[in-house]
């Protein structure tokens, strides 16, 4: 096979301050140049995306006095997909007096990420976690409370302390509404302008600095260029490369991928999280998958029939003929093992014929014992909305019949590479939330995505972007600048190309086929042979896409097919890079399980001597192989160990 990638110079400096971990963030903030409040209103920042990271950052920068231009593809900033996060948000408050601390949250996150994240960033995340809870409570986020009026917490997958704050099963919704309200408050104050139903299709780089974006008004089709002093991407993850995922239908990689093509390094694209507790696929028509919060694993017990191919109804299978396989294999953590471990265990049970439900791709998550112990009301109070949702989708009553669950793609740890300041390799382009790769290594722990999104948006970016803005004054530029014109022409050319193909297959049919390839070869288990095969399949399908896709209508109208075509076009390119990344990383770590690299009892086997680095990929051209730039990871505060949840 041809050479799939080349190796370039390692990344020398991630800009983390020297000194002990616990002093770094303070040192960085003190070292950052500040901007006089009177001068801030002369500076503008483009914020793409209005999820937890984007809304919180836009609100906070607006409060500071900057002029913020915010964009989202939805019809309201409140609908960004953070809204669907269910389980909770971690914070090292130690309200439970159960041994939690900043250091333990840091340690759990590094360990949970299987030692593929940067110590300095993760420590800072743990450090600001408590302030997030304070901020959200002040905004009116109705977290769960106990009868004394204090905040309730629960424990969540992969940890042994109770540090997860929650708002029933819809924590993401409540946190996002808090950030959305803060954002709208700034709209009212005149510091933030929100452009809804606008999608970013290109990044504008002038003299090596990110200066603006090309967006399409999704109602009229008008292409617009917007320029500013800095650009922030808060555009979420790329799970929809798999077609079927728990992401919203519109979630896409276009903003991050376009930035990648303009020079931003893309880090660890193969680190994608498969969530263990989703509702299984019911048929060919399926358009998306629905998550059931893993908080259910606190009270639900996961089992399959001992006998392979057992088709009896779950209630007819006596206790002795049930295999509570997580409790059996991992007695210390039981049903609360991290997501990657739980997902692969479910896959193994189904592969060996013990799966339940249609096609045998499911395992039981059984609440019966918890209902007997705590009563139906207590379970309803904790999980009511989730269980209602399950019933609507499956037509089965989870209070009486064990739920059926199966893993599904849920979150992407990979994303644009950023330094300690959350700045990408393009000066002036900052990346926050799921869109960056920074804090979760090879596997994210439950309830840490909300924490990271809000940490980046409320507390970290607003304390680093000022340093960039203070040190990098730029000449004013408008949409007549040659780079802006060029970027607009690129976008127009691409849209016209889609509309002129007039082939025979729908955009969705290509997307489904692409997703099936990525799921099969770059999903829960990967190996060299499969990944090489996948690269070939993806390239062939991409060629077919660009010659046979059918996009109806014109650009100058509300055209949802055209929107999807652009997103799928970018997914093709990303899918190939994911497979190359997965292929080059010949170790197993976290979510990335290479069948060639496992322990005797089938657990992921890391290779720290070879792979203790971040794989940041450089775009080198349409038909030229990507270049690997390594950021070596050094651990001075945790000892690298083989993860064990036994």
Partner 1 sequence: MNITVRIWRQHDRAAAGRMVSYGVDGISPDMSFLEMLDVLNDQLTAVGDDPVAFDHDCREGICGMCSLVINGIAHGPEALTTTCQLYMRHFNDGDTIDVEPWRSQAFPILRDLVVDRSAMDRIIQAGGYISAPTGSAPDAAATLVPKKDADRAFDAAVCIGCGACIAACPNGSGMLFTGAKANHLGVLPQGQTERHERALAMVNQHDAEGFGGCTQIGECTAVCPVGIPLDMISFLNADVLSALPRKQD
Catalytic site positions: 339
133 binds partner 1 (CB under 8 A): yes
Site mask for partner 1 (CB under 8 A), range 287-316, x = bound = xx-xx-------------------------
| Closer residue to partner 1 (CB): 285 or 636 | 285
Site mask for partner 1 (CB under 8 A), range 158-177, x = bound = ---------xx-x--xx--x
Report the site for partner 1 in 385-404 (rule: CB under 8 A). 385, 388-389, 392-393, 395
DSSP 609: H
Residue ranges of alpha helices (H) inside 395-443 are: none
* Short-list 93, 92, 99, 154, CA closest to 123: 92
| Closer residue to partner 1 (CB): 465 or 628 | 465
Query: With CB under 8 A, what is the number of residues at the site for partner 1?
Result: 82
Report the site for partner 1 in 590-629 (rule: CB under 8 A). none
| Closer residue to partner 1 (CB): 327 or 508 | 508
552 binds partner 1 (CB under 8 A): yes
Stretch of 6-14, 127-135, 340-348, 530-538 lying at the interface with partner 1 (CB under 8 A): 127-135
- Cα dihedral 297, 301, 306, 311 sign: negative
Phi, psi (5° rounding) for residue 393?
-80, -40
380 binds partner 1 (CB under 8 A): no
Please, which residues have CB within 8 angstroms of residue 65's CB and are 6 or more apart in sequence?
Answer: 37, 40, 41, 191
37 binds partner 1 (CB under 8 A): no
180 binds partner 1 (CB under 8 A): yes
| Closer residue to partner 1 (CB): 499 or 638 | 499
Dihedral class, residue 304 (left if φ above 0, else alpha if ψ from -120 to 50, else beta): beta
Nearest approach, Cβ of 542 to partner 1 (angstroms)?
20
Report the site for partner 1 in 209-248 (rule: CB under 8 A). 219, 246, 248
Site mask for partner 1 (CB under 8 A), range 64-93, x = bound = ----------xxxxxx-x-xx--------x
Reported as type and span, the H/E element at residue 389 is helix 376-394
Nearest approach, Cβ of 78 to partner 1 (angstroms)?
6
Buried b / exposed e over 582-597, threshold 16 CB at 10 Å, is bbbbebbbbbbbbeeb
User: Reduced to 3 states, what is the DSSP secondary structure of residue 277?
Assistant: strand
Separation of alpha carbons 201 and 491, rounded Å:
7
| Closer residue to partner 1 (CB): 286 or 472 | 286
Separation of alpha carbons 56 and 69, rounded Å:
13
Cβ atoms of residues 265 and 627 within 8 Å: no
Applying CB under 8 A, among 149, 309, 482, 493 the residue interacting with partner 1 is: 149
Applying CB under 8 A, among 20, 142, 359, 375 the residue interacting with partner 1 is: 142
User: Reduced to 3 states, what is the DSSP secondary structure of residue 474?
Assistant: coil
Greatest alpha-carbon span in the chain:
74
Report the site for partner 1 in 472-511 (rule: CB under 8 A). 506, 508-509
| Closer residue to partner 1 (CB): 282 or 348 | 282
Nearest approach, Cβ of 458 to partner 1 (angstroms)?
5
Buried b / exposed e over 160-174, threshold 16 CB at 10 Å, is ebbbbbbbbbbbbbb
| Closer residue to partner 1 (CB): 134 or 489 | 134
- Facing residues of 291 across strands? 278
Taken as a whole, the chain contains a residue count of 646
Report the site for partner 1 in 559-578 (rule: CB under 8 A). 560-561
* Short-list 140, 165, 141, CA closest to 151: 165
95 binds partner 1 (CB under 8 A): yes
Applying CB under 8 A, among 87, 88, 236, 250 the residue interacting with partner 1 is: 250
**Residue 622 C-alpha from the chain's centroid:** 26
Rg (CA), the chain: 24
Applying CB under 8 A, among 4, 151, 499, 605 the residue interacting with partner 1 is: 151
29 binds partner 1 (CB under 8 A): no
Helices 528-548 & 560-584 angle (0-180, nearest 10): 160
| Closer residue to partner 1 (CB): 240 or 424 | 240
545 binds partner 1 (CB under 8 A): no
249 binds partner 1 (CB under 8 A): yes
188 binds partner 1 (CB under 8 A): yes
């Amino acid at each position: 096979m041809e050479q799939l990638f080349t190796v370039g110079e390692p990344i020398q400096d991630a800009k983390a301050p020297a000194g002990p971990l616990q002093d770094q963030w303070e040192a960085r903030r003190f070292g950052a140049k500040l901007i006089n409040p009177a001068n801030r209103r002369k500076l503008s920042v483009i914020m793409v995306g209005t999820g937890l990271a984007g809304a919180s950052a836009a609100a906070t920068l607006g409060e500071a006095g900057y002029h913020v231009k915010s964009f989202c593809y939805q019809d309201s900033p409140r609908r960004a997909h953070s809204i669907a996060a269910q389980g909770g948000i971690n914070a090292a408050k130690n309200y439970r007096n159960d041994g939690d601390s900043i250091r333990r949250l840091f340690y759990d996150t590094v360990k949970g990420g299987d030692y593929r994240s940067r110590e300095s960033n993760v420590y800072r995340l743990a450090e600001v976690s408590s302030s997030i809870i304070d901020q959200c409570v002040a905004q009116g986020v109705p977290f769960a409370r106990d009868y004394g009026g204090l905040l309730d917490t629960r424990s969540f997958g992969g940890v042994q302390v109770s540090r997860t704050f929650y708002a029933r099963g819809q924590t993401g919704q409540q946190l996002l509404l808090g950030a959305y309200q803060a954002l709208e408050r700034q709209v009212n104050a005149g510091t933030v302008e929100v452009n809804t139903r606008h999608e970013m299709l290109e990044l504008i780089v002038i003299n090596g600095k990110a200066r603006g974006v090309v967006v399409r008004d999704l109602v009229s089709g008008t292409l617009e260029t917007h320029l500013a002093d800095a650009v922030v991407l808060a555009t979420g993850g790329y799970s929809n490369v798999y077609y079927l995922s728990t992401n919203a239908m519109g979630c896409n990689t276009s903003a991050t991928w376009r930035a990648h093509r303009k020079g931003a390094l893309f880090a660890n694209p193969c680190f994608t999280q498969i969530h263990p507790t989703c509702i299984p696929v019911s048929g060919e028509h399926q358009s998306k998958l629905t998550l059931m919060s893993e908080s259910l694993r606190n009270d639900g017990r996961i089992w399959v029939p001992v006998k392979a191919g057992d088709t009896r109804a779950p209630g007819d299978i006596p206790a002795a003929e049930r295999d509570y396989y997580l409790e059996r294999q991992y007695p210390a953590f039981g049903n609360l093992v991290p997501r990657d471990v739980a997902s692969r265990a479910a896959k193994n049970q189904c592969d060996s014929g013990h799966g339940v439900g249609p096609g045998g791709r499911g395992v039981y998550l059984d609440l019966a014992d918890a209902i007997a112990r705590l009563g139906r009301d207590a379970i309803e109070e904790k999980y009511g909305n989730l269980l209602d949702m399950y019933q609507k989708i499956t037509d089965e009553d989870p209070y009486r019949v064990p739920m059926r669950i199966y893993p599904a793609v849920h979150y992407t740890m990979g994303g644009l590479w950023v330094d300690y300041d959350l700045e990408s390799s393009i000066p002036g382009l900052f990346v926050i939330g799921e869109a960056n790769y920074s804090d979760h290594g090879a596997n994210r722990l439950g309830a840490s995505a909300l924490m990271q999104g809000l940490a980046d948006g409320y507390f970290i970016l607003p304390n680093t972007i000022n340093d960039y803005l203070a040190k990098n004054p730029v000449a004013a530029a408008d949409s007549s600048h040659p780079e802006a014109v060029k970027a607009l022409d690129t976008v127009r050319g691409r849209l016209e190309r889609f509309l002129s193909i007039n082939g025979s297959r729908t955009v969705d049919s290509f997307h489904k086929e692409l997703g099936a390839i990525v799921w099969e070869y770059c999903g829960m288990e990967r190996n060299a042979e499969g990944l090489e095969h996948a690269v070939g399949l993806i390239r062939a399908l991409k060629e077919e896409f660009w010659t046979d896709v059918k996009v109806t209508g014109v650009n100058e109208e509300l055209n949802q097919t055209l929107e999807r075509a652009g997103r799928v076009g970018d997914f093709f390119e990303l899918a190939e890079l994911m497979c190359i990344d997965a292929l080059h990383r010949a170790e197993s770590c976290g979510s990335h399980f290479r069948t060639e690299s496992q322990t005797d009892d089938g657990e992921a086997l890391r290779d720290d001597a070879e792979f203790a680095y971040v794989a940041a990929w450089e775009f080198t051209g349409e038909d030229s192989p990507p270049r690997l730039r390594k950021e070596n990871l050094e651990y001075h505060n945790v000892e690298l160990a083989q993860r064990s949840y036994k």
